[in-house]
Structures are given as C-alpha cells and as structure tokens.
Structure 1
C-alpha cells in the first residue's frame, strides 16, 4: 500500500463536499494538502479544521480561468516544491431534461467537468513527468458510466473525462505516472442543491437519493484506501449503483430498460 505521509496532495473543489472530506482523510494519513476552490475564506475554514493545519495551504482559483490556474500552479510549486497527487474533484451537476437545457448550460457543465480538468492536468503533467512519479485522480461519477434522465450533460462530461483519463493512463504508463478515476454514487453533499437547471441556475434543493446516500467521510475513507492500493477504476456507492455498473458491462440492454423506469430526479 502507498504511504501518504508527507505526500503533497492538491485537491480542487476542496471547500465543501467530497473535496473537503478527501482533504480531511488525506490529512489523517499524514499528507500535506493544497486546498483549491474559488473562495479563499471557505478554504481557510477547511484548512484550520484539518489535522496539523500548519502543514496545509489554501490557494484560491477559479478552475475555468486558465490564467488563475497557471498562477495557482506556480504558487503550489513555490510553497511545496512538488506535487505527488492531483485530485481533480471540482465539478458541477445537472437536474434538467435535455429538451429544457439551454446550450449555455450544456457548455457551462462541460467547461467545469471536462475542459477545466483537462487544462489543469495538462498544466501539472510536466511536473509529474519530470519527477517520474505521482498519481493523477479524476472524480467522475456513476452517472458517467450509466447515463440517466435529468443528467445528460453531466453524464456526458463525466464519461468524457473518464475516457480522456484512460488515454492519459496509456500514454504515461512507462513514465512512473499513475492515473485513477473514482466513480461516486449518491453521497450526502450539496451536489443536488447546486446542480444546474435548464436555465443554468442552481436547483436550490436536495433530492431523496442524495439525502440518503453515503456519508462524505465514508466515501473519502473508501477512496483514499483504494488509491493507497493503487486502484485505477474505483466505484464507490450503494448496492443499486454497483448493480447498475455491473449491468452496464453484462447486459447494457437490460440496464437501459431499467433506467427508463427509474425516478432519478
């Protein structure tokens, strides 16, 4: 198992939800965390609550702003000198039918969930190649493996980053750089509350599936353990999500029939 003691772990979307939970778990494992999100004050609230807060640093950036990303990257190297794990966690979900979703909303979701992660990874990749070590992690979604109603754009973006990560893994296989993709199912976070409706506005309320999902801390423990084991394809969810992933491989036609009958909003 990989030891994360004093490893430099850069986590995007670290001010809440899965990112905050991952930061807490990595800190418990002795890692030095670089927390990134748009709001510095919120990052600092997370940082001071971590184990050994003096070891960690908050670097604010908007992941859709390439100039901010480049500046943040320079700050990380100036502060820590290296990066051992990059956790591409920042994301944006959706709760709208295709017929109700504007092209502006389609592009906004793809920008956050795909293009921004591609740009950040391409920015950091030279450091990993120079070090000849490190792991790049993408937080995708079970929705990116299945595709369901009200999440078409989100599912497409999460599927896209998964396949991009597969290509990256193949390209750097002999360079000491590892690539993992995590596929969460329903986890108790604000993801549904912040999900975009067809007009591109936050939905503003939770749904039953998310409210009854895994605790974020439980998700983080499973994710960090899987990464320590060197796993590359990591599905974390309840029985229904895992069954859906299995059916997508064994009998896609059966899965599609099941999805048609689901009430997933």
Structure 2
C-alpha cells in the first residue's frame, strides 16, 4: 500500500485522541475514512473536521457489543464495499497497582483491549481474504513490550494483542493480507482521564508523562508513514520509550532493574 488515495480506512476509537488524529492524517492522504466509537455525536464532530467530510462516514458502536459490531461491519460493506486498512485503536488504560485492581476491572480492560479487537478482526477477515489485499493494524503500547507499575492488566492486554497479531500475520501472509502492530509511547491525549483505577472508575486527571508526551498529530503522521512503508513493528514515542524498547531486546534483566526505579504513574 504505497498510497491511501481512494482507499477505505476503518478506525475504531475514532472520536478522540489517537484515533481522531489518525483519521485526520488518513483523510489528508486521500482516504475514505470510516469513524467508529460509541458516541455518534462526537464522531460527527470529527467527521466534519476532516478534509472532504462528505467522503467519510460515522458508524457508532460499542466495541464490546458483538451485535453492534456485526451491524457496523455490515454497514461498512454496504456503504463502501471493501476495507483496505482496518486500524484497531479502541482501547482503555489503567492506573492501579495489582493489589488494588478488582477482577471485574481486570476483565473489563482485557475485554476492550484484547477480545474486542479479536472479534472485529475475525469478523472482517473474510473480506480481506476475498480481496487478497489490505492491512490490519493494531494499536498496542510500549507498555505491552515492557510492563510497568500501575498498568499490569493494560500491559498484559496490549502484549496479548501483539502476540495474537503475530500469529495472524503468519496465517494470512499467503492470502495477500498484511498485519502491523503499533506501539505508542507517551502521546498527549485524554487516555489518562479515562484510565481505570482499581475499582473500575475513570482516573479523571492527566498524568505528567502523558502531558509531556508526543503530540497526537505527530504520532499520526509517523504511524501512517510507517504503515504506507509496509512496516509491521512500529514504535512511536519519545527517546525514553525507545530506549526502553532497545534495552528490552538487549538485556531484559537490565530493563527490569530500570523499571523498578521508574516513577510512571
């Protein structure tokens, strides 16, 4: 995929943050963007802000409701007839120690960050295989590569979708379908406000690390460029996050020692 011009791009979690920024960048690249999230009103605000708003559509759905997701998929095919790039971006973060996190919260994060991505992919996969083309992308996280305090379940879910995507890549390679995983570091969005505490309630305040992170627009530009370049393993973040990923490959033991000393909340 050397260009997004005229391509159909479906983005989940597109009403704000990374998803909104990715939608804007894809529209600038000439794509027909399908915006999905729970709130239609917010999606429509994003849609009308995009270049050539009439080329794009908003389809509201709760990513954890299989009936809604199935209906949304049917609408996508009915209105666009194909999907060239699916970006599984919908997600939920965490800010709680393991000892403070209820099992209900553990399951809620895993449901959104892992199982819902799996379900949508399995639903859309026959379309990609029939086309013998297209790319499926997942927004994982640097936390899914490293594992840090206060993010145990989030890290586990993001690592799980990474490994699942690796298996998917191997299984569909002969069908002409490509798979990419993106690992954001700290990106300045509302992710901290929505992150769940141990009781499953939104944290409702910003983290300093997120506030000082990469601008969402910069993240989107780097990510879309990497996807168009055919990259499959895409780390986008600041110097500290990239250093952590590098150390994790060379010396996991050194990384674990570094993480113990970090103040990441």
TM-score normalised by length of structure 2: 1.00
Q: Using the alignment, how far apart are the partners of 2:47 and 2:239 within structure 1?
A: 33
Q: Using the alignment, how far apart are the partners of 1:192 and 1:211 within structure 2?
A: 9
Q: Does 1:128 align with 2:128?
A: yes
Match of 2:203?
A: 203
Q: Using the alignment, how far apart are the partners of 2:42 and 2:51 within structure 1?
A: 17
Match of 1:119?
A: 119
Deviation, 1:241, is 0.2
Q: Using the alignment, how far apart are the partners of 1:207 and 1:43 within structure 2?
A: 25
Q: Using the alignment, how far apart are the partners of 2:173 and 2:74 within structure 1?
A: 26
Q: Any stretches of 5+ residues in structure 1 without a counterpart?
A: none
- Equivalent residues in 2 for 1:25-64, closer than 5 Å: 25-64=25-64
Deviation, 1:2, is 1.0
Q: Using the alignment, how far apart are the partners of 1:29 and 1:68 within structure 2?
A: 29
Q: Using the alignment, how far apart are the partners of 2:135 and 2:129 within structure 1?
A: 11
Q: Using the alignment, how far apart are the partners of 1:252 and 1:3 within structure 2?
A: 37
Runs of 4+ in 1 over 3 A off after TM superposition: none
Q: Does 1:219 align with 2:219?
A: yes
Match of 2:191?
A: 191
Q: Using the alignment, how far apart are the partners of 2:84 and 2:4 within structure 1?
A: 9
Deviations 1:142-194 (A, max 9, x none): 00000000000000000000000000000001110000000000000000111
Q: Using the alignment, how far apart are the partners of 1:193 and 1:260 within structure 2?
A: 24
Secondary structure (helix, strand or coil) at the match of 1:87 reads: strand
Match of 2:228?
A: 228
Q: Using the alignment, how far apart are the partners of 1:239 and 1:82 within structure 2?
A: 38
Deviation, 1:116, is 0.2
Q: Does 1:102 align with 2:102?
A: yes
Secondary structure (helix, strand or coil) at the match of 1:150 reads: coil
Match of 1:258?
A: 258
Q: Using the alignment, how far apart are the partners of 2:30 and 2:184 within structure 1?
A: 24
Q: Using the alignment, how far apart are the partners of 1:116 and 1:207 within structure 2?
A: 26
Deviations 1:47-81 (A, max 9, x none): 00000000000000000000000000000000101
Supply the RMSD in Å over aligned alpha carbons.
Answer: 0.5
TM-score normalised by length of structure 1: 1.00
Q: Using the alignment, how far apart are the partners of 1:194 and 1:62 within structure 2?
A: 16
Deviation, 1:209, is 0.3
Q: Using the alignment, how far apart are the partners of 2:118 and 2:228 within structure 1?
A: 24
Q: Using the alignment, how far apart are the partners of 1:59 and 1:254 within structure 2?
A: 45
Q: Using the alignment, how far apart are the partners of 1:22 and 1:151 within structure 2?
A: 24
Q: Using the alignment, how far apart are the partners of 2:207 and 2:66 within structure 1?
A: 33
Q: Using the alignment, how far apart are the partners of 1:70 and 1:12 within structure 2?
A: 13
Q: Using the alignment, how far apart are the partners of 1:25 and 1:145 within structure 2?
A: 26
Match of 2:90?
A: 90
Aligned residues: 265
